[in-house]
Structure 1
Amino acid sequence: MSESKAPNLIKEEMIEEGVHNYSTKRSYVSPTDQKVLDKLNWFQDQKLALMMHWGPYSQLGIVESWALSDADAEWSRHGVDWEVTGEAFKKEYFDLNKTFNPIRFQPEKWAAIAAEAGIRYFIFTTKHHDGFCMWDTQYSDYKISGEDCPFHKHRYADICAHLFEAFRKKGIGIAAYFSKADWHIDSYWSNRYERGCYQNRGPSYNPLENTEEWERFVRFTHNQILELGTKYGKIDIMWFDAGWVCKANNQDIRLGEIIDKVRTFQPGMLCADRTVGGAYENYVTPEQCVPEEPLGIPWESCITLGNSFAYAYSDTYKSAREVVLLLIDIVSKGGNLAINVAPQPDGRLPMEAITSLKGLGAWLKVNGEAIYGTRVCKPYKKDGIAFTKKQDTVYAIESFEKVSHQVPSQVWIPYDGEVSNITLLESNERVIFEKKENGYQVQCPEHDGEAPVARVFCLTS
C-alpha cells in the first residue's frame, strides 16, 4: 500500500463487519491528570459492567445501524427485503422512530436487576451511528422525545435521564456510549455530493475540501457531548464508538477539546475513544473477544449475553455459568467485563437474560471478594486455575464448565509464592495443603452433588 493511503486503511481495518478490534499498549498514553488516574483506579476495581444497545432498530430485530451503510450491506442486511439499491429500506429504517413506543420500560426495575447481578457500572447507548438520540437533546429532532415518536409523551420519555438516575440510586456508575458518527444529520451524510445516495461509514464528502460543512458537524457533535456531560448528572465515563472518525482519516472532531471542557464539570471523567489510541483512550475495548494474555493497560471486553448487541428475536443467551467463567477469565488477565443485554422493543428485558444475570449475581454474592477490587497475579491462568490478588490475599479460582464435572478432593494450585494458610472463600473453612515444587497440593472436603460454577481458595502468607 502507498504511504498516503495507509492512515485511512489502518482505521478501517480496526472494524470488520461492525466488530471493533482494539488498541495495544504501544499506542496507550497514560493520563497525567491525577483525578483521571484516580478514576482509572476506580474503573479497574469495578470489574463488571452492564452494556445496553437499544433504540428503534430493536423493532426489526436486526443489527443496529450498520444496514444503513451501503458499503456494509453485504453482511448487515441479511433477512431484510432491501431491494436493489437499499433506498427504500434506508427510509423505512430512519422512519422507525415513528413506531418506537416502549411503554413497558421500567428504569427502576432494570436498575434493580443490574444491582442483583452484581453490576458496578452501566454503559448505555445514548446515540448509535444511526443518529437516533435516547435523550432529550435540543440539537436534533431525531430523538426519543421528538414529536413524531409516540413515546414522547410518556413520563419516562427522556430515557437517559431516568435510566441514569435509577442506576445511580443503586450505587452503579454511569458510562454514556456515544457514536462519533451520525448517519442521520446532513452535515455528515448527504446526497448532495459526488457519490449521491451511496454511503459508507465516513462522511459523504472530504472534510479537508469541505471545511465549513465539517465544522458544522463538529459543532453539532461538541454540543451534544457537552449536553450529556452537563445536564445528566454525574458521568463516570464517556464511551465513544465509530473509531474511524479520527484525525488519521481526516475526520478529526477535536475530541480532546470537548472532553477537557466536560471535565471541568465532571472532574476525572474517563474517556474511552476506542481504537484511536492516544491521550483520550483511557482504556481499550476488545469486542466479542478476550485477549490471550494480560494487556498491561486498563481494558474492558464488551461481549454480548445473546448473539447480538441489538435485540434479536429468538436469540439464545449465555447461561449464568458461562458468564461467570467469562468474567473469571477476563479478571484474571486484569480486565473488566461489559456484558451486553439488549432490551426488547416494548421496554422489557428478555426473561432468559434476567435469569442469567441473577445467576451471575448469586455467584458474586458469595465469591465477589475474589473479583471486585482485585489485580492481576502471576501465573494468571495455569493448570485450570485462575488467579487474582487483593492486598495480601491471593485468590485461586477453580472453574467447572459443566454441572456434571467431577469435583476433585485434591486440587493442584500452581502458585510459587509463600503461603501459610489456605481457606475456601465460600465457607471460610481451612484446608490441609502441602507445599511442593512450583505449587501447593490442597486437600478439600468431599463434594456431593452438582459441580459448582467455581470454587475459590484464599491464599495468605
Structure 2
Amino acid sequence: MGVVESWSICPEDEGWTQRRGPYADSYNNYVQHYTDLQKTFNPVRFDPSKWAAAAKDAGMKYVVFTTKHHDGFCMFDTKQTDYKITSAACPFSSNPRSNVAKQVFDTFRQQGFMIGAYFSKPDWHSNDYWWSYFPPKDRNVDYDPARYPQRWQAFKDYTYKQIEELMTGYGRMDVLWLDGGWVRPLSTVNPSIDWQRGIRYDQDVDMPKIAAMARSKQPGLIVVDRSVPGEYENYTTPEQQVPEHPMDDPWETCMTMGNSWSYVPNDHYKSTTQLVQLLGEDRIPRRKLPAQYRALPEGDFSDTAYLRLKEIGAWIKTNGEGIYGSHPIRPYSSESVYLTQSKDSSAVYAFFLSSGREVVLPAEITIDRFTPAAGSKLTMLGSNQKFKWKMDGKKMVILVPKALQGKTVGEHAVAFKIG
C-alpha cells in the first residue's frame, strides 16, 4: 500500500495519517480494506538468517522486532486474537516460518544478538480499546474507562496476557520496548507537549504489574515504556534525530534508513555517508540504533538496504573501536570533529567527518577546547601513517603529513586515536 503502518486508520488530520488509494474517500471502507490485508499478506521471501547475517556483518549488536503495532495485527502466534499472521485467514499461516517473531528472535539470538520485542500498548483492532459502540475520534481509547471499567479491565488483561506470551514463549529477552505513550496514567500527562494534550482519559494499564511479571520471566530485562518518564522508561528514545545537546540518561535514536517507517515504493534512502556520520556525531554514545530496516511486501529487504549494511560494516570494521562501549567527553564536538572516549578512558577518538563520501584531509585539523594528556600518541585508525599534534592556546591541532594533505584517506569519516 505504501502508507505508514497503522496511522492511516487513525482519524487524525496529520501528515502521517493521510489515507491513499482507491478507498481513501470513505473512512469505514478504508479501514475494512486495511483490515482485509491480512487475507493477502504472504511474505514468501522472508528469511531471517539473511537478515541476521547482514546485520551482523554491519556490526550491529541487538535487534528490536515489531511484534504488534497500533493497528493490532500480531506478528507472533498470540492466543488472544485471530488478527495475526498465524491465523488461517492469512496465506502465510501455512508457511513453516509463519510465527515470524519467533523466527526472528531465535535466528538473531543464535548469531549472538541481544533481543528486543517491540509491542504497542494501544490496539486499534481491539473492541476493548476502540469499542465499536463509539466511532474512534483520535489515537486514544474511544470511551471513558472510568465509566466502563469492565471493558477497560478486559483490555488490560488482554495486554498483560500478550506481553506474558512474549516473555514466556519466545526465548531469552533483553528489551521490552513498549510504544504508544498516550496509553498512560492521566497523572503523567504533560500538557506542555502538544500530542499529550489530546489525552482525555486515564489509560492506566498497570505498568508495575506488567513490568514485575516480565522481569520475573526475564531477569535483567530492560523496559522501555516510551515517553512515560519514571521507573519503566529505562532509556529514552528520540525519534528521527540525534540529540543536539548531551543527555544524562541512556538513550537510543529511533531513525529510519529511508523517509518512511514502513515500506514505500521507491523510497529515498539515506546515503551510507549520512548513516555513518550519525555514528560519528553520537555525542553521548550510550545506545544507538542508526537506522530502522523494514521489509518489502514479499518479506525481504531492498537491495539498497543490503548495500547500506555492507558499506556500514566495512567502515565499522576499521573504526568501530571508537564507537562500541564509548562514553562522553567534552567538548563533544568542534566544527567537523566529534569526540568519544573508550570505556576505560585510556583513549579519545576524534571523528573527522567529510563533506561528501570521500574523506580528504586538510593540512591541519583543529579541536577547540580540548587538551590531550601529556605524551599522547596520535594515530589514524586503519593507517600506519604517523601523525603529530600541537597545542595552540586551548586548541589541539592535528598536523597532517604532507604526503596525505589533500588526499583521499577513507570514506564517510575517519577516526584519530589519541592516547
- TM superposition score normalised by structure 2: 0.91
How far has the Cα of 1:117 moved from its partner? Answer: 1.0
Q: Which moved more, 1:328-337 or 1:425-434?
A: 328-337
Partner of 2:250, secondary structure, is coil
More displaced stretch, 140-149 vs 325-334: 325-334
Q: State whether residues 289 and 301 of structure 1, in contact with CA within 8 Å, keep that contact through their aligned partners in structure 2.
A: yes
Measured in 2, the distance between the counterparts of 1:246 and 1:412 equals 48
Contact 2:283 2:332 in 1 (8 A): no
Letter in 2 for 1:88: N
> 2:352 aligned with 1:398, yes or no?
yes
Question: What's the CA shift string for 1:123-181, capped at 9, x where partnerless?
Answer: 11100000000011111111110010000010110101111111111111111100000
SS in 1 for 2:319: helix
Q: Does 1:158 align with 2:99?
A: yes
Q: Secondary structure at the match of 2:350?
A: strand
2:361 pairs, out of 407, 410, 416, with: 407
Mapped pair 1:247 → 2:185: yes
Matches within 5 A, 1:6-405: 60-72=1-13, 75-192=16-133, 196-248=134-186, 249-332=201-284, 334-390=286-342, 391=344, 392-403=346-357
**Aligned residue in 2 for 1:431:** 387
Distance 1:405 1:365 in 2: 17
The CA deviation at 1:453 is 1.3
Cα distance in structure 2, aligned partners of 1:443 and 1:74: 49
Residue 365 and residue 75 in structure 1: after superposition, are their counterparts in 2 closer, same or farther (change >3 A)? closer
Q: Give distance in 1, aligned partners of 2:36 and 2:354.
A: 47
Counterpart check, 1:440 vs 2:396: yes
Contact 2:168 2:217 in 1 (8 A): yes
Indicate conservation of the 8 Å contact 2:241/2:253, yes or no.
yes
- 1:273 is matched by which residue type in structure 2? D
Question: For 2:13 and 2:81, how far apart are their aligned partners in 1?
Answer: 25
1:92 offset after TM fit, Å? 0.3
Inter-partner Cα distance in structure 1 for 2:398 and 2:290: 33
> 2-side partners of 1:250 and 1:303: how far apart?
30
Whole-angstrom distance in 1 between the partners of 2:7 and 2:221: 29
How many residues align structurally?
398
Q: 1:404 to 1:270 in 2, by over 3 A?
A: closer
State the match for 1:24 in structure 2.
none
Task: Give 1:459's aligned residue.
Answer: 418
Gaps of 5+ in 1: 1-59
**SS in structure 2 opposite 1:377?**
coil
Note the residue ranges of structure 2 that are not aligned, 5 or more in a row. Answer: 187-200
Q: What TM-score comes out, normalization by structure 1 length?
A: 0.83
Whether the 8 Å contact between 1:145 and 1:158 is mirrored in structure 2 is yes
Task: Flag the 1:76–1:159 CA change in 2: closer, same or farther, 3 A.
Answer: same
CA distance in 2, matches of 1:419, 1:411: 19
Structure 1 CA distance for aligned equivalents of residues 267 and 15 of structure 2: 21
**Does the Cα contact within 8 Å between 2:359 and 2:408 map onto a contact in 1?**
no
State the identity as a percent: 38
Q: Are the counterparts in 1 of residues 68 and 120 from structure 2 also a CA contact under 8 Å?
A: yes
What letter matches 1:409 in structure 2?
A
Q: Which residue identity lines up with residue 418 of structure 2 in the other structure?
A: L
Distance 1:164-1:405 versus aligned 2 partners, 3 A rule: closer
Aligned position for 2:192: none
SS in 2 for 1:358: helix
Alpha-carbon offset, residue 74 of structure 1: 6.4
Tell me the secondary structure at the aligned position of residue 399 of structure 1.
strand
3-state SS of 2:183 partner: coil
Q: Paired residue for 1:416?
A: 371
Equivalent pair of 2:11/2:138 in contact (CA under 8 Å): yes
Give, in whole Å, the separation in 2 of the partners of 1:276 and 1:376: 25
CA offset at residue 81 of structure 1?
3.6
Taking the aligned partners of 1:292 and 1:386, their CA distance within structure 2 comes to: 12
Deviations 1:276-311 (Å, cap 9, x if unpaired)?
Answer: 111000000001122111111101110110110101
Whole-Å separation in 2 of the counterparts to 1:75 and 1:383: 34
CA shift at 1:440, angstroms? Answer: 2.2
For residues 309 and 147 of structure 1, the distance between their equivalents in structure 2, rounded to whole angstroms, comes to 28
Counterpart CA distance in 1 for 2:48 and 2:281 is 30
